[in-house]
């Protein structure tokens, strides 16, 4: 199995299916599967690839079985498959995702949904301010393997979002889904001056991950408000919070529709501030 678990997202419903999926890509690891394990916690999974069938002999707990075609589209769902059951199979399947029992319903997984594996480092991280080595803007569809890195955001008129987070998995998933929505996404790992980075990237909206420190996120948001009043701010965290300094925090691992809606609301605030100030982003 691969050493680093992968994250699997649902591109159709734009949410996370599995935070930590081990990938069994060799015959021996596929044969071994979940044998010997006593349980599988929520958020974990096992992707058998290639595979078109499984059996649950010698297993100790039920699982949900998701059959996927070559494009990781769901072709069959078998929920609550118990131990010592006969073989489950789907002729058109090229991969099988095993999840904890009930997880497919909890994650709202459906037939024909298209999934994607997100590598932790699928999107390059800005290590220095734009203009220095390491600055990147992401556009395109990362799920298809096509993405562009450029030095300037929004050259094609796309809304410009600066994503600032130390959580590399959140950076990867959020930037991939934002790029699919047509946003030009610049990435920061939280080590830079956010206001200066937003200025140089001509950002319309800044998304700040407040998981590590709500106080630090509120400080950065306040600094942005003072120095860049035309830039909208959205804060995300592991749990929803009322926030500090009028900075509400939305959960970052719920449906990404919430994040998209918050970004659009912040863009509306951005435009109103621009009209009030009489200037656009510098």
**Res 278 pLDDT > 50:** yes
- Angle of CA points 7, 11, 16, to nearest 5°: 40
- Angle of CA points 64, 69, 70, to nearest 5°: 135
pLDDT of residue 72: 95
71 C-beta neighbours (distance < 10 Å), count:
12
For the CA atoms of 54, 56, 57, 61, the dihedral, rounded to the nearest 10 degrees, stands at 160
Q: What is the pLDDT of residues 235-277, one digit of tens each?
A: 999 876 655 556 789 988 777 888 999 999 998 866 665 666 5
Of 55, 60, 87, 90, the closest CA to residue 73 belongs to 90
pLDDT of residue 54: 87
User: Considering the entire predicted model, what is its pTM?
Assistant: 0.64
Copy the structure tokens of residue 282: 């510098």
pLDDT of residue 79: 95
Mean pLDDT of 74-84: 93
- Tell me the CATH class for 6-117: mainly beta
Delimit the domains of the chain by residue range: 6-117, 120-277
Share of the chain above pLDDT 90, in %: 35
Q: What is the pLDDT of residues 4-20, one digit of tens each?
A: 678 899 988 888 899 88
Residue that has been written with the tokens 């500090």 in this structure: 244
Best CATH choice for the domain 120-277 from the list 3.40.50.2300, 3.10.20.440, 3.10.400.10, 3.40.50.300: 3.40.50.2300
pLDDT of residue 95: 94
Q: What is the pLDDT of residues 146-198, one digit of tens each?
A: 334 344 445 467 899 999 999 888 888 888 889 888 999 999 988 888 999 99
pLDDT of residue 198: 93
**Res 68 pLDDT > 50:** yes
pLDDT of residue 110: 96
């Amino acid at each position: 199995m691969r050493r680093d678990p992968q994250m699997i997202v649902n591109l159709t419903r734009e949410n996370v299916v599995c935070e930590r999926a081990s990938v069994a890509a060799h015959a021996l690891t596929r044969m071994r599967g979940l044998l010997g394990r006593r349980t599988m916690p929520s958020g974990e999974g096992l992707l058998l690839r290639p595979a078109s069938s499984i059996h649950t002999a010698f297993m100790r707990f039920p699982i949900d079985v998701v059959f996927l075609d070559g494009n990781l589209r769901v072709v069959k769902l078998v929920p609550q498959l118990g131990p010592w059951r006969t073989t489950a199979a789907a002729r058109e399947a090229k991969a099988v995702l095993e999840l904890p029992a009930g997880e497919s319903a909890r994650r709202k997984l459906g037939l024909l949904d298209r999934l994607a594996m997100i590598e932790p480092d699928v999107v390059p991280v800005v290590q220095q301010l734009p203009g220095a080595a390491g600055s990147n803007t992401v556009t395109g569809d990362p799920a298809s393997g096509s993405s562009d890195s450029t030095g300037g955001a929004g050259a094609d008129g796309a809304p410009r979002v600066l994503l600032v987070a130390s959580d590399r998995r959140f950076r990867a998933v959020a930037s991939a889904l934002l790029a699919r929505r047509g946003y030009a996404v610049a990435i920061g790992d939280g080590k830079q001056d956010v206001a200066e980075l937003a200025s140089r990237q001509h950002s319309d909206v800044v998304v700040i991950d407040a998981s590590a420190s709500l106080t630090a996120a509120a400080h950065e948001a306040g600094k942005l408000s003072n120095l860049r009043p035309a830039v909208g701010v959205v804060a995300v965290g592991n749990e929803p919070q009322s926030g500090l300094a009028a900075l509400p925090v939305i959960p970052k691992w719920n449906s990404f529709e919430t994040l998209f809606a918050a970004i659009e609301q912040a863009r509306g605030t951005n435009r109103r501030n621009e009209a009030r100030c009489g200037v656009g982003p510098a």
